Amino acid sequence: MGQTKKEVQKKKRMSDITKILIAMLLGSAVGILVGESATKIGFIGDSWLNMMKMFLVPIVICMLVKGISSMDSPEALGRIGLRFILFYVFTTICAGLLGIAVPMLLKPGVGFKYTIATETVAIKELPSAAQFFTSMFSSNIFATFTKADMMQVLIIAIIIGVGVVMLPAGKREPVRDWFNSMADLMMSLINIALKLAPIGVFCLMASALGKYGLGLLLTIAKLIGVFYLCCAVHLIVVYCLLLTAFTGIGPLEFLKKAFPTFATSVSTCSSNAVIPVSMEVATKNFECGEGVAGLGIPLGATVNKDGVAILCGSVLVFSSQAMGIPLTLSMILNILFVTTLVTSAGSGVPGGGLMNLMIVGTAVGMPLDIIIMVGGFYRFFDMGTTSMNCLGDMSATVLIDRLEKRRLQKEMKRRKQC
């Protein structure tokens, strides 16, 4: 029997996913076998990553405005936005607790041998509540776009989107249509870069494994193992359990459909670079509404950093065990609070979580020796932090989209009965 056009397109899309997975495996193997010489092709992967981020600011602006302006009313926008914020805060707290509890139970830092670092690292002071709030708002949108300050970009996009929603009928549609067309253009440009994904992924993975190798990696294998165990537990117990309970989507179905997001996040280690991929996955693979996806994915890439929260707890508990520093209840609560605060303003770029880790370590009074050492292997942790961040964004978007559709169905039934 002849295949339909939709089936052919689906097979083609799965073929692209397979190419990315093969590129990841081959790149890792080449990096391990060739060694440091493999780092010479790293610039190719960096160039591809730059292509992914080239139009990042206009993508976030256009997609977020498109998503917000598609809402029927300010009330709908406020309801859906509040659900996203509550979901992200809840999962971040869960991630922080898990990152602290599992290392305390398994004690990976006991007996660990480390070398005291001699270099000085400049750490930003933890901002006050007033400074943090003020820094969210730009005084010059052009300077914000140039620096790609994603928190400020997000706020600007939200303000523009709300402004479009509040325009009177007749004036709202032309503005909304323009942003919709620009969002489609941005996605078309990103698709050009996605065609080169297997090459970029291969070079990035080969360079990373060639630089670090496996021998040196084994010295902190216990910490890496505990970290990824926490990630796996968080993925299954928090994301998948919530999805199954509220949407009926099982873990295997979720992971299968979200694989492009996972593969891109592991290879790029940039939540922002994954935004266009996640948008496509949410709207096509999970059939989420463009309004919900356009709000949830860019918002999550900026404020949802569950992977970083897990890393902060794991590394700080590991450091306390290795250095013989007992963790008091007040220190544990401090780690959880500061982690939730600083990760909500994560940069979404490769390595951004390391600075958050240093800020949390300084805030709770933990020596930075092991944190600095972790920085040398951060690429291996960053693959886990970014994939958790992005899968968290995806799970939130799918869950809230299903809840919103269920609410609309109930309203339609109620209207029919009336």
Q: What is the mean pLDDT of each run of 10 residues along the chain (418 residues)?
A: 50 58 82 86 83 76 76 71 89 93 87 49 57 81 81 81 84 87 80 78 81 62 90 95 93 93 86 86 91 86 86 89 80 81 57 68 72 71 90 94 89 78
* Encoded tokens for 253: 């179905």
Is the Cα torsion angle 60, 62, 68, 70 positive or negative in sign?
A: negative
The Cα–Cα gap between 73 and 64 comes to 15
Residue 122: predicted pLDDT = 47
The Cα–Cα gap between 54 and 405 comes to 34
At residue 325's C-alpha, the angle toward residues 233 and 388, to 5°, is: 20
CB 302 within 8 A of CB 348: yes
> What one-letter code names the amino acid at 92?
T
Alpha-carbon distance values, 52 to 28, 48, 275, 341, 406 (Å): 21, 6, 9, 28, 35
Q: Which of 129, 125, 151 is nearest to 138 (CA)?
A: 151
Residue 234: predicted pLDDT = 96
The Cα–Cα gap between 242 and 246 comes to 6
Task: Give the number of other CB atoms < 10 A from CB of residue 46.
Answer: 15
Alpha-carbon distance values, 138 to 145, 146, 271 (Å): 10, 12, 22
The 3-class SS string of 194-231 reads: HCCHHHHHHHHHHHHHHHHCCCCHHHHHHHHHHHHHHH
Residue 121: predicted pLDDT = 43
Residue 219: predicted pLDDT = 58
Residue 373: predicted pLDDT = 64
The conformational region for residue 123 under phi > 0 = left, psi -120 to 50 = alpha, else beta, is beta
Q: Which of 241, 351, 264 is nearest to 52 (CA)?
A: 264
